Amino acid sequence: MSTYAYLGPVGTFTEAALKKITTAEDHLIPYANVTATLNAVRDGEAEFALVPIENSVEGVVARTLDELATGEPLIIAGEVTLPVTFALIAKHGTKTINRIATHPHAESQCRSYIARHYPHAEIIATASTAGAVEAITRGEFDAAIAAPATASHYGLEIIADNIGDNDGAVTRFVLVTKPGHLPAATGHDRTSLAVFIGLDHAGALLEVLTEFAKENVNLTFIQSRPTGLELGHYHFIIDAEGHINDPSVSKALAGLREICEDIRFLGSYPRERQRA
């Protein structure tokens, strides 16, 4: 039995993704935001944490990237993907909807529906979609956009189902733990890094990319994030195909150490295989 922290409350997409990889004997603990979820591992309250890192429509979850790159070190031990669909949820008998609550990523994926059906409604951002639904039960908002399953959990009504603008939207989640746990290479792996280039200069990113290209290592994800030190200073979050123990990845990493100010290893772990 293991203890898992996840972005809560009960009923989030993160909980649904976590249940793909846990058993009934495992202990699942919801937390209010990404930072609190990851801190549960840092503080020893949980062995693992599951948090969202990117969505196929909206893009990256910046808070997750920043926590992994600059917070107390953690590593990624695995990943989970989950198709996401959205519903408009309200109390039974609701006639007027002036205030709709949801997570910003969910709102961005339902903009066409909102503009068409509720053009004058105020959209309120919440820490999670399930948190928005929970707030409806307290009378804080008229409706919420969330996973359809949350309606029955909180005894609410689905006003409209499948309201997302893009069919086939998928969110990727990462399973995070303390350093020291390195999954064995499987031949279908991903290595994640936070790369700090030091003083920015012309061609800095090209130099980083060249180290991977020389070793024929494919990159599946690259995102720049501000370091927080001063305007114009950035680091890069990079996902590369392969395991850190693969010779090609190991050589690329050695090359990066020669040209970068710092590199934070964020984990080598199996990629989730996508169904055709």
Domain range for residue 94?
87-161
Residues 127 and 242 in one domain: no
Q: Are residues 73 and 92 in the same domain?
A: no
In a domain, 182, yes or no: no
Domain count, the chain: 3
**Claim to verify: residue 45 and residue 112 sit in the same structural domain:** no
Q: Provide the CATH number for the domain around residue 77.
A: 3.40.190.10
Same domain for 96 and 129?
yes
CA 11 – CA 254 distance, rounded (Å): 43
Same domain, 248 and 206: yes
Tens-binned pLDDT, residue by residue, of the chain (276 aa): 899 999 988 888 999 999 999 998 999 999 999 999 999 999 999 999 999 999 887 788 989 999 999 889 999 999 999 999 999 999 999 999 999 999 998 998 899 999 999 999 999 999 889 999 999 999 999 999 999 989 988 999 999 999 998 878 899 999 999 999 889 999 999 999 999 886 666 677 888 999 999 999 999 999 988 776 666 677 899 999 999 999 999 999 999 999 888 999 999 999 986 543
Claim to verify: residue 14 and residue 64 sit in the same structural domain: yes
Q: How far apart are CA 30 and CA 54, in angstroms?
A: 20
Q: Are residues 173 and 58 in the same domain?
A: yes
Q: Name 192's Cβ contacts closer than 8 Å, sequence gap at least 6.
A: 68, 76, 237, 238, 239, 240, 266, 267, 268, 269
Reference 246, options 215, 207, 211, 213; nearest CA is: 215
Q: Considering the domain boundaries, does residue 263 fall inside one?
A: yes
55 in a domain, yes or no?
Answer: yes
Phi, psi of 209 (to 5 degrees): -65, -35
Tell whether 254 is covered by a domain.
yes
Answer whether residue 19 is part of any domain: yes
